[in-house]
Amino acid sequence: MTPLLALAALAAAAPVAPAAPVVRTDDGPVQGAALADGGAVFRGIPYAAPPVGPLRWRAPVRPRGWTRPRATVAEHAACPQIVYGDWNREAARTGDEDCLFVDVRTPGLSGRRPVMVWIHGGSNRAGAGGGTVESRITDKGIVLVSIQYRLGTLGFLSHPALSREQGGHSGNYGLMDQQAALRWVHRNIARFGGDPARVTIAGESAGAMDVGLHLLSPGSRGLFAQAIAESGTAGFGTPPRSLAANEALGVRIARRAGLSATAGTAALRALPVAAILAADDRVDVPGLDDDSFVWLQAVVDGRVLPDTPARLFASGRFAAVPLLIGVNARELGLHGGRAAAVATVRREFGREAGQALKLYGLAPGFTPLDDPRLGDVTQQLATDLTFRCPTIAVSNALAARGVPVWQYQFDFAPPGGAVSHASELRYVFDPPRPGEPPLQDYWAAFVRAGRPAGARLPDWPRYYAGRRGYMAFDQGGPVAKTGLRRAICTLRAAP
């Protein structure tokens, strides 16, 4: 065989790289990256116009349409944020106001598969959606979507000047971004092989808080069929903030950024991003022990959120969709440490404080009840107040009205280790190895069928307010239990 014929034979035998897939969204065509298994991934599809200039601190609007295929294969900018640690360093480095993107990973462009829409965490002031779609959870037969939304002051500022401009309401722009992204999913996901009628919204930490707020927001109705909330609720264990209080906070932030108390919208929108981020980071928040929780207080703006989470849950004004909700056994420490523990119990438990002090071993003559898995008493207290008890309150509110709820507590760690906030994420997005908890299998089953169940999975009991069943993911494997933290959380019922 001649050299030319040999080269031709080799070329014919070589595998042909799959063509880059192109999907025509209702804003314009996007070109993604083909995957070896026949699927495709798209990174950085704009679902809204860049919220810059006159669009800063306004409800999101559709992007300007395009006609030529837009490349959506590379990582994209996160939304603006400062560095809070190694966990968000890269996101802070790439931050840009032009950040309203969705990423999509699909097993195939044909068919109608259930969809999981991920809302990232980060205290609603940091984090990013990029990287989520590298997960192979799509091998379980679902389409994965990750969304980004405006963060911190850029996403949640209220201000009297903005309220005057916008019909008496301002703030919660980040939540409006998420709603716009969900509308994009509803209009377009069928073209990516997804089923718009089977969308599950899911999130962790602040992302779980936002999931909880979508359960309550009229603007989110009909945009999802199920929900997953990991380590967060709509109330997030903090008192809600009124529009007036958020406007007053906005004035404080604007003044720290160099503006007068009477500054108008033009001056606000002319502020450099760096000045906004710095002012956000330095502001003292009335009523909060820990100012890092500044954007973890639900803002009752009257537009996105019409009433407090507690009243909305109590009156049944929520989306009655199946909910998978839970916490990690040990989440965060108590701000102020052990010195603040007794005062915190007295403030948070009110008339039940005496009994709560005994249960924590903080009453006179008692010994603090430190625990090898739940942590010392301050870690238990912080996790109970911010995560566990609000999760139980939400579960009770939904279950009391017949809504299917599945509750869990995650406490799996390598030998000798302990869980912390976000420990469960690896097990959701990575397939389980031998001996590891099968969270991905349960989560995917819930997305597919509205129930965390499978032929090879231990039975996960549905939560009922009377029995309070939950799944414990601990060192011994998934085990069904009842009455998570019943004695403590019965004393504090606010969601």
CA distance 153 to 305: 18
pLDDT of residue 15: 57
Please state, in angstroms and as integers, the Cα–Cα distance from residue 141 to each residue in 115, 116, 138, following that order. Answer: 9, 11, 6
153: left (phi over 0), alpha (psi -120 to 50) or beta: alpha
Nearest to 144 by CA among 173, 88, 106: 106
Tens of pLDDT, residue by residue over 101-115, are 999 999 999 999 999
pLDDT interval class at 12 (50, 70, 90): low
* Residues assigned a catalytic role: 205, 331, 421
Q: Residue 227, exposed/middle/buried by CB under 10 A (0-12, 13-18, 19+)?
A: buried
Pairing of strands 477-482, 101-106: unpaired
The C-alpha angle 249, 255, 258, rounded to 5 degrees, equals: 150
**What single letter denotes the amino acid at residue 29?**
P
Tens of pLDDT, residue by residue over 280-311, are 999 999 989 899 999 999 999 999 999 999 99
Tens of pLDDT, residue by residue over 299-358, are 999 999 999 999 999 999 999 999 999 999 999 999 999 999 999 999 999 999 999 999
Domain 30-321 classification at class level: alpha beta
The domain spans of the chain are 30-321
SS3 219: helix
pLDDT at 215 over 60: yes
0.85 exceeded by pTM: yes
Tens of pLDDT, residue by residue over 365-416, are 999 989 999 999 999 999 999 999 999 999 999 999 999 999 999 999 988 7
Q: What is the rounded average pLDDT of the residues 136-164?
A: 98
Q: Are 360 and 340 in contact (CB under 8 A)?
A: no
CA distance 211 to 218: 13
